[in-house]
């Protein structure tokens, strides 16, 4: 349908980028990017009208998003010759719009396009030996200025290298070395660094990419003296294990997995350094608080869970209640004490779900005079229940009466 609509508007439509790359890698990908040789916005508008979808447009960039009633989205971009401005050092060659569009991209593996117009439907376009590089499992930039144009591509290179188990080509690797040596990242806005970092932390296993950032001395882009201790690798691996453990047990629970990895990354940073990181990366106040004050406040809890030999279930509950899943998992990552780990996992799998059936209304029926005593009684009932003293509703009533 996309191709038919494009042909009617007398333009060419291609599905491009990650979606096509992932077809060749046998990986699923639901992000569909369409490039139109012509006016992408006009195409999106027409297509949306005909298929009952909405669109969002960015006139300035010639891009649009088609949003279907079920929430599915398709990104549309325009490939038009007049958009391209290249650094003076690049050769000026005659290129079709789609070829130009592909040439602007980061790595050869992202330059495949499949035409959608009827008549040419399914025609694979591979201008830059993308298929060969995918087959050889190698990441290459398209030209020597790639990281000058966009230094965030260095982060992308390491992310793709680890995600796909590819190697970085020799020339590309030396261009990365050069980018690091010349510190191309100096002029990179913190916001963009944060966006790249988040993408890394959202990978299935962020640890290897973070270690590669460390190899290239790129963690200093986050903060010049991000504290890396000898336990760094172990911590990152533990964060993966702990989050996997959680995700397996609580499939339906949503939390910000990447935030657990982020906190692990800044594990040894104090409040001052954390605040500097949050300011530099322009992290939203909600997260800045989580990464700073909230994260550091877990140290007190952790040391009690690690050192106190005797603790009731209610003690553990009272220590950990109020902490969000991200923080609970972060604590599990940080502790090396088996006892503390056990206590935290017991809290998270069981204690946090314990509730009592008795309420203030029931206390009123028992002729107990309302007042602060109510919350004390209810708290005592909950603690007794946590400690396994009360089993039935009747037990709760009897306990409250006493």
Q: How far is the CB of 153 from ligand CTP (least distance, A)?
A: 5
Q: What does the per-residue mask of binding to ligand CTP show for 107-146, with x meaning CB under 6 A?
A: ---x------------------------------------
* Total binding residues toward ligand CTP, as defined by CB under 6 A: 10
Identify residues 144-173 at the interface with ligand CTP (CB under 6 A): 150, 152-153, 156
Q: Where are any strands of DSSP class E within 123-207? A: 124-126, 138-139, 167-168
Show Cβ contacts of residue 310 under 8 Å, excluding neighbours closer than 6 positions.
none
H or E element: which one contains 164? Answer: helix 152-164
Question: Would you say 110 or 294 has its CB closer to ligand CTP?
Answer: 110
Question: Would you say 27 or 324 has its CB closer to ligand CTP?
Answer: 27
DSSP per-residue codes, 247-269: HHH-TT----HHHHHHHHHTTT-
Q: How far is the CB of 77 from ligand CTP (least distance, A)?
A: 9
Per-residue CA distances from 302 to 271, 295, 307, 338 (Å) = 17, 11, 9, 12
Question: Would you say 156 or 352 has its CB closer to ligand CTP?
Answer: 156
Structure tokens at 234: 């172990």
Q: What angle do CA 321, 322, 324 make, to 5 degrees?
A: 105
The residue number with the shortest CB distance to ligand CTP is 18
Q: How far is the CB of 391 from ligand CTP (least distance, A)?
A: 51
Identify residues 51-110 at the interface with ligand CTP (CB under 6 A): 105-106, 110
CA 6 to chain centre: 34
CB-based contact 48:54 (threshold 8 Å): yes
Q: How far is the CB of 227 from ligand CTP (least distance, A)?
A: 29
Alpha-helical runs (H) found in 290-389? 295-307, 313-320, 325-334, 338-349, 360-365, 373-386
SS3 197: helix
Q: How far is the CB of 17 from ligand CTP (least distance, A)?
A: 3
Q: What does the per-residue mask of binding to ligand CTP show for 13-52, with x meaning CB under 6 A?
A: ----xx------------x---------------------
Task: Using CB under 6 A, list all residues that contact ligand CTP.
Answer: 17-18, 31, 105-106, 110, 150, 152-153, 156
């Amino acid at each position: 349908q996309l191709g038919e609509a494009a042909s009617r508007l007398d333009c060419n439509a291609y599905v491009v980028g990650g979606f096509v790359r992932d077809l060749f890698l046998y990986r699923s990908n639901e992000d569909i990017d369409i490039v139109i040789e012509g006016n992408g916005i006009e195409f999106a508008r027409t297509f949306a009208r005909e298929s009952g979808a909405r669109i969002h447009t960015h006139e300035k960039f010639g891009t649009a998003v088609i949003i279907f009633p079920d929430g599915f989205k398709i990104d549309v971009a325009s490939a038009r010759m007049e958009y391209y401005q290249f650094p003076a050092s690049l050769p000026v060659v005659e290129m079709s719009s789609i070829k130009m569009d592909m040439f602007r991209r980061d790595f050869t593996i992202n330059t495949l396009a499949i035409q959608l117009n009827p008549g040419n439907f399914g025609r694979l376009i591979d201008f830059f030996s993308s298929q060969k590089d995918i087959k050889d499992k190698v990441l290459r930039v398209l030209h020597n200025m790639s990281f000058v144009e966009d230094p965030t591509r260095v982060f992308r290179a390491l992310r793709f290298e680890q995600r796909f188990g590819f190697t970085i080509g020799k020339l590309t690797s030396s261009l990365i070395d050069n980018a690091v040596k010349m510190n191309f990242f100096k002029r990179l806005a913190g916001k963009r660094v944060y966006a790249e970092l988040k993408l890394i932390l959202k990978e299935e296993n962020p640890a290897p990419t973070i270690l590669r950032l460390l190899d290239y001395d790129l963690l200093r882009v986050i903060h010049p003296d991000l504290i890396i201790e000898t336990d760094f690798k172990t911590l990152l691996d533990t964060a993966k294990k702990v989050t996997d453990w959680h995700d397996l047990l609580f499939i339906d629970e949503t939390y910000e997995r990447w935030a657990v990895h982020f906190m692990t990354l800044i594990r040894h940073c104090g409040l001052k350094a954390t605040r500097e990181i949050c300011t530099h990366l322009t992290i939203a106040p909600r997260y800045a608080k989580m990464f700073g004050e909230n994260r550091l406040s877990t140290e007190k809890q952790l040391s009690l869970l690690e050192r106190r030999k005797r603790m009731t279930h209610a003690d553990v509950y009272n220590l950990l209640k109020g902490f969000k899943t991200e923080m609970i998992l972060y604590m599990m990552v940080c502790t090396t004490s088996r006892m503390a780990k056990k206590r935290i996992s017991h809290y998270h799998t069981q204690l946090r779900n314990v509730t009592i059936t008795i309420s203030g209304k029931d206390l009123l029926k028992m002729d107990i005079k309302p007042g602060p005593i109510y919350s004390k009684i209810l708290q005592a009932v909950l603690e007794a229940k946590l400690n396994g003293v009360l089993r039935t509703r009747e037990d709760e009533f009897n306990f409250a009466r006493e």
